[in-house]
Amino acid sequence: MQRRSFLEATAGFALSSGILRAAPKWAKAPVGLELYSVREDFMKDMPGTLKVVAEAGYQGVEMWGPYGDWTVAQAKDFKKIVNDLGMKVLSTHTGAKYFNDDLLGKVAELNGVLETRFMIMSSAGAVKDLNGWKEVAAKLNKAAEKLKPMGKRTGFHNHAVEFTPLEGKRPIEVLAQETGKDVVLQLDVGTCIAAGSDPVAWIKQNPGRFGSLHLKDWKSGTASVRDGYKCLFGEGDAKWKDIFDAAANKGGLEHLLIEQEGSAFTPFETIEKCIANFKKLRDS
């Protein structure tokens, strides 16, 4: 058989058997790690921990709360280590206090140094009523205005409480309605499911607002709700391919972040197993 005929026959077989498949849109998004997952190791040995993260196959990181107190020099050092390992600082988790007028400028500057895409409010703290959530939304809108000239976006990271009705309405709905469309609704998938909400439906209700997802899984039937988060990515109740498809096709997905709140394994073993499970899912 001539070479051309052989190649044509081989390609035809591959297509008919499903070997050659177009990768889904979400599979092209970079996968990072929320460094809170390895926080204890990070605080003891930042360079060594980041090296483990890079060697596990992560393409970027999301830095959590402590960065807000860094100097510009510390932010530069951190970014250099991350970049030298072939990763990017994709985003930051930023405490609610840094969204106040006296600190907002500083953390915006640090995100500029880190070259992040998103500066996410990690938690709103104790909010008593829906009016309180409207105040949170106002702070997010102000941060969005501050970051927009820098080519960055702010956003909010949900927990189960934002999907739990308060005064007859879920707080996350208030945040979505009271903030501009450029404010990211960073979806923590596991807590959304644990609260009884449907992540796919939520994404479709708010198109273009899910630039980032936290790939935390949750498993029902455990001894407690908290124990449900101990399952590894891909081993819980989340229908990941449906969620990813919705986020990529409707949600404006830019990057994915694995986050783990403890498991039966060490933190390093856990993050390695989670990204291995992600790659199996992506390639299946």
Asked, for residue 158, whether it belongs to a domain, the answer is: yes
How confident is the model over 40-99, as pLDDT tens digits? 999 999 999 999 999 999 999 999 999 999 999 999 999 999 999 999 999 999 999 999
How confident is the model over 99-127, as pLDDT tens digits? 999 999 999 999 999 999 999 999 999 99
pLDDT at 16: 46
pLDDT at 22: 81
Asked, for residue 1, whether it belongs to a domain, the answer is: no
Distance CA 13, CA 222 (A): 45
- Domain count for the chain, please give it: 1
pLDDT at 95: 97
Structure tokens at 15: 């297509």
Asked, for residue 2, whether it belongs to a domain, the answer is: no
Distance CA 30, CA 60 (A): 7
pLDDT at 93: 98
pLDDT at 161: 97
Domain region containing 207: 32-283
Asked, for residue 82, whether it belongs to a domain, the answer is: yes
How confident is the model over 147-160, as pLDDT tens digits? 999 999 999 999 99
Band of the pLDDT at 19, cuts 50, 70, 90? Answer: low
Phi, psi of 88 (to 5 degrees): -125, 155
How confident is the model over 154-200, as pLDDT tens digits? 999 999 999 999 999 999 999 999 999 999 999 999 999 999 999 99
pLDDT at 15: 44
Asked, for residue 21, whether it belongs to a domain, the answer is: no
- pLDDT score of 11 more than 90: no
Asked, for residue 187, whether it belongs to a domain, the answer is: yes
With CA atoms as reference, report the closest residue to 240 among 211, 281, 210, 209. Answer: 281
What is the torsion angle, in degrees rounded to the nearest 10, for the CA atoms of residue 158, residue 93, residue 211 and residue 131?
40
Asked, for residue 106, whether it belongs to a domain, the answer is: yes
- pLDDT score of 14 more than 80: no
Asked, for residue 138, whether it belongs to a domain, the answer is: yes
Residue 189 belongs to a domain with what CATH number?
Answer: 3.20.20.150
Buried b (16+ CB within 10 A) or exposed e, 243-271: bbbbbbebbbbbbbbbbbeebeeebbebb
Band of the pLDDT at 7, cuts 50, 70, 90? Answer: very low
- pLDDT score of 38 more than 60: yes
